[in-house]
Amino acid sequence: MKYGYFDNESREYVIDRIDVPVSWTNYIGVKDLCGVFNHTAGGYLFYKSPEYHRITRFRPNGVPMDRPGHYVYIRDDETGEYWTLSWQPAGKDLKEAKYVCRHGLSYAKYQCEYSGITGEQTIFIPLDDPAEIWNVKLKNDSNKKRKLSVFGYAEFSFHHITVDNQNFQMSLYCAGSSFKDSIIEIDLFYEQKGFQYFTADGNIEGNENFDCLRDSFLGSYRTESNPLAVEQGFCSGSFELGGNHCGALRKTVELAPGEETRLVFLLGEGDRQAGSVMRNKYCSKNFEQVDESFEQLKNFWKEKLDKLQIKTPHEGMNTMINIWTLYQAEINVMFSRFASFIEVGGRTGLGYRDTSQDAMMVPHSNPQKSRARLVELLKGLTTDGYGLHLFSPDWFEVQTEPPFKSPTVVPTPSRSQMVHGIEDACADDALWLIPSIAEYIRETGDFGFTDEMYTYADTFDPKTGEGKKESVFDHMKRILDFSARETGPHGICKGLRADWNDCLNLGGGESAMVSFLHHWALTHFIALGKYLKRDVSSYENMASNVRKACEKELWNGSWFTRGFTVSGRSIGSPDCKEGKVFMESNTWAVLSGAVSREHGIAAMDAVDKYLYTSYGLKLCDPAFSQPDDEVGFVTRVYKGLKENAAIFSHPNPWAWAAETMLGRGDRAMKFFDALCPYNQNDKIEVRRAEPYMYCQFISGPDHSAFGRANHPFMTGSAGWSYFAATRFMLGIRPDFDSLIIDPCIPPEWPSFNVRRVWRDAVYNITVKNPNRVSKGVIECMLNNQNVSCNNNIAQIPVQAEKTENLVVVVMG
């Protein structure tokens, strides 16, 4: 069953059957102001932090689902009939009305045709202003004159997620609202910068045209589906010091047959004065600035996407890579992982491992943000060499203003709560930072970054900004040394609180994943060090020891063991009854470069044999059914869900990449295709979630909802899919001084093209495959000159900035 289609020309996903089974979401805003909205305009807006500074309220996990939102109501003032431009909360029967949602890059468009009125509400946030614009267009397609009231409505929150959800005995009496100069202002009295505004174009006057109090607008015993003000056709001019507040503004329009009109509502951060500035800017001169800002936003994304565009025989791969997967990866880097309809803001800041990986995926499209994230992570590292699992980057900046103090008592975390000890360290967290730094440098050529000096979290004094400072290169060494030190009896890295798998809590037991990751990080570090002519010989020895331990202790004769519990039992090996085969150890055995090709092939064959399903690869098999605290929380999750043998998306691309390293392009594509959301566009009765987004996990075959996708958007799967598809399958990856072309594709592909911008030069690459092979480059021409191909890999030297270069590669 299908609910929409990909409109690649407009870079939109179009939902033309609006009653999708669950919310299909999108992210609005690319800087400080951000909103998460679904296909029916339900959702919320926050400024900088979804935990501390939520602007509009959301009632998560509730019924009716995913409300409230930012709504536009239309009322026919002659008949009294009313509806919303989005299908919820006051939509009409789908037999009588047509609703469409177009999710674009950082905007959502809600379109509605009902009773001769064609309406559209586009919500977006201009690049440089913290104001959400609702661009509303109405057209009278009937043959009679129409008199309409148009109401814009949103409900405000008490900012802090905790304050907004419990103990209202303070917050209810410290939030006020007022209306003046066509602007509603909300004031959180106990906060220094606790202002927001809601306004619209034109002069708005009179009590019938505004309400600042939610309950006056909605009326008692009513919901957003039947607000009293809309039903009766006028507002009541409510405002108050104290209470629950909303922005509700009414405007009237008269439309002759065929006539069109435009209205703009603005919802923003700041006080009435700020609102007035924005109103002048966006609501004057025929809304020129609205259109210009919308174009700028489109260009902002176009420029990013233009850094890498592909044209392959695989339409799904083209659509995902050229538009949606980079978009998803970028959103994760911009907003970290804590704002969605699932993660509703109770956590804030950065997760060490997630952010390190996310930052690795977009250095070409967002080098500044990648770099900024790397710096934040370097400052969140301890001198012991482990990263703080969850931290707020501002903890490690000099404090310029007093921290937020809520009116009810939300205790300020103490230093020891911020800088946790090794008992709370995850074994993998900081290891991800090393390849991430190396990839950032390969992309940008910013070699000086390795010498920049940054403090360590455990030595930092927020009052002075002082603390032990070392170079980035030295930070990297401490990370590698930590993993070399924290090993168990087999010489394999300890699992500690968790490794990449949050639910595998091995403590002093050992984790194959971490040792393989350690090796991968070492290879990146050694390559970088050698390029910079630094002495890395001790790390070469370290890598060799890791390889020996991995082959000796982890190869179990059939595939690679996942680890050992603290009492020495093995996990993920043939003698286990449950959790016999794991994805992480087998994919990382290959990816890390730590094991022989022969063992790598056997390991990936086991992945195919035991873990493959038509919706992607399961994390492990068979699922755990008995709680076992030596193994971890995974044994207490229902079978087929999350880490317990679900199709966990994030590691799937590891398998694609591993297969390409083994030269098996068709196998990599088989795995790619199974997970690919695009391929499930017509299976929504099973998938349920949006087909333009990777989801955290798909319920596995052990679960009754096999194939159902859960937790869209906020997942490292997007970044990894992008990384694996572009760098390994299409094989285009920057090195320190050359652009490598080393594809591994299905043998039936005759050719493909990639346009890649790298270090400010354009590479128009054509890869030809006349002999229908999977891997191996035999010939390469750069601007009609031969380039030698060592080891069947093309290496294009860095070309001058601003040049367009023609690259033709022949596989064979």
- Least gap, CB of 336 to ligand GLC (angstroms): 10
Q: Is there binding between residue 500 and ligand GLC (CB under 6 A)?
A: yes
Could you tell me the strand order of the sheet in which 117-124 lies? 4-7, 12-15, 98-104, 107-114, 117-124, 131-140, 260-269, 195-200, 183-188, 175-180
Q: Distance (Å, rounded) from C-alpha 472 to C-alpha 378?
A: 7
- Least gap, CB of 543 to ligand GLC (angstroms): 24
**Which residue matches tokens 């029916």?**
40
761-768 and 804-811 strand pairing = parallel
Q: Which of 91, 270, 316, 351 is close enough to bind ligand GLC by CB under 6 A?
A: 351
Looking at beta carbons only, is 321 or 695 nearer to ligand GLC?
A: 695
Using CB positions, name the residue nearest to ligand GLC: 502
Looking at beta carbons only, is 354 or 553 nearer to ligand GLC?
A: 354
- Least gap, CB of 303 to ligand GLC (angstroms): 29
Q: Is there binding between residue 618 and ligand GLC (CB under 6 A)?
A: no
Looking at beta carbons only, is 238 or 721 nearer to ligand GLC?
A: 721
Residues 668-697 as x/- pattern, contact with ligand GLC by CB under 6 A:
----------------------------x-
Listed ranges 349-357, 543-551, 750-758, 798-806: which one lies at the site for ligand GLC (CB under 6 A)? 349-357
Looking at beta carbons only, is 5 or 638 nearer to ligand GLC?
A: 638
Query: DSSP assignment of 636-697, as one string?
Result: GSPTTBTTBTSEETTTHHHHHHHHHHTT-HHHHHHHHHHH-GGGGTT-HHHH-S-TTS-EEE
**Which residue matches tokens 């392959």?**
312
Looking at beta carbons only, is 213 or 620 nearer to ligand GLC?
A: 620
- Least gap, CB of 390 to ligand GLC (angstroms): 10
> How close are the terminal C-alpha atoms of the chain, in Å?
41
- Least gap, CB of 632 to ligand GLC (angstroms): 10
User: In the window 717-756, what residues touch ligand GLC (CB under 6 A)?
Assistant: none
- By CB under 6 A, the count of residues binding ligand GLC is 12
Q: Is there binding between residue 312 and ligand GLC (CB under 6 A)?
A: no
Q: Which of 306, 502, 540, 630 is close enough to bind ligand GLC by CB under 6 A?
A: 502
Q: How far is CA 305 from the centre of its chain?
A: 16
Looking at beta carbons only, is 388 or 794 nearer to ligand GLC?
A: 388
Looking at beta carbons only, is 122 or 710 nearer to ligand GLC?
A: 710
Looking at beta carbons only, is 28 or 695 nearer to ligand GLC?
A: 695
User: In the window 155-184, what residues touch ligand GLC (CB under 6 A)?
Assistant: none
Q: Is there binding between residue 356 and ligand GLC (CB under 6 A)?
A: no
Q: Is there binding between residue 354 and ligand GLC (CB under 6 A)?
A: yes
Which residue in 131, 161, 130 sits closest to 49, CA to CA? Answer: 161
Bond before 622 cis per omega within 30 degrees: yes
**Which residue matches tokens 């007035």?**
276
User: In the window 639-658, what residues touch ligand GLC (CB under 6 A)?
Assistant: 643, 650
- Least gap, CB of 332 to ligand GLC (angstroms): 10
Q: Distance (Å, rounded) from C-alpha 17 to C-alpha 685?
A: 13
Listed ranges 54-62, 351-359, 462-470, 682-690: which one lies at the site for ligand GLC (CB under 6 A)? 351-359
Looking at beta carbons only, is 239 or 720 nearer to ligand GLC?
A: 720
Which residue in 234, 222, 231 sits closest to 64, CA to CA? Answer: 222
Q: Distance (Å, rounded) from C-alpha 701 to C-alpha 706?
A: 5
Which residue in 757, 751, 724, 665 sits closest to 309, CA to CA? Answer: 757
- Least gap, CB of 716 to ligand GLC (angstroms): 6
Q: Distance (Å, rounded) from C-alpha 23 to C-alpha 258?
A: 34
Which residue in 75, 117, 79, 80 sits closest to 99, CA to CA? Answer: 117
- Least gap, CB of 207 to ligand GLC (angstroms): 49
**Which residue matches tokens 């614009």?**
133
Listed ranges 185-193, 244-252, 498-506, 607-615: which one lies at the site for ligand GLC (CB under 6 A)? 498-506
Q: Distance (Å, rounded) from C-alpha 282 to C-alpha 272?
A: 15
* CA angle in degrees (0–180, nearest 5) for 568-516-384: 85
Listed ranges 214-222, 263-271, 495-503, 569-577: which one lies at the site for ligand GLC (CB under 6 A)? 495-503
Q: Which of 32, 164, 215, 502 is catalytic?
A: 502
Instruction: Return the biggest CA–CA distance within the chain.
Output: 84
- Least gap, CB of 652 to ligand GLC (angstroms): 12
Active site residue 384: no
Listed ranges 137-145, 294-302, 496-504, 625-633: which one lies at the site for ligand GLC (CB under 6 A)? 496-504
Looking at beta carbons only, is 572 or 746 nearer to ligand GLC?
A: 572
Residues 693-712 as x/- pattern, contact with ligand GLC by CB under 6 A:
---x----------------
Residues in a beta bridge with 266: 133, 199
- Percent helix / strand / coil, the chain, rounded to 5: 30, 30, 40
Residues 465-494 as x/- pattern, contact with ligand GLC by CB under 6 A:
------------------------------
Lookup: tokens for 423: 């008992």
Q: Is there binding between residue 501 and ligand GLC (CB under 6 A)?
A: yes
Q: Distance (Å, rounded) from C-alpha 784 to C-alpha 791?
A: 21
Q: Which of 103, 146, 353, 733 is close enough to bind ligand GLC by CB under 6 A?
A: 353
Query: DSSP assignment of 225-282, as one string?
Result: TS-HHHHHT-------BSS-EEEEEEEEEEE-TT-EEEEEEEEEES-HHHHHHHHHHH
- What single letter denotes the amino acid at residue 581? V
Q: Distance (Å, rounded) from C-alpha 288 to C-alpha 270?
A: 23
Looking at beta carbons only, is 681 or 696 nearer to ligand GLC?
A: 696
Q: How many CA atoms lie within 13 A of 57 on its CB side?
A: 18
- Least gap, CB of 500 to ligand GLC (angstroms): 5
Residues that bind ligand GLC in the complex, under the rule CB under 6 A = 337, 351, 353-354, 500-503, 643, 650, 696, 715
By annotation, the residues acting in catalysis are 502
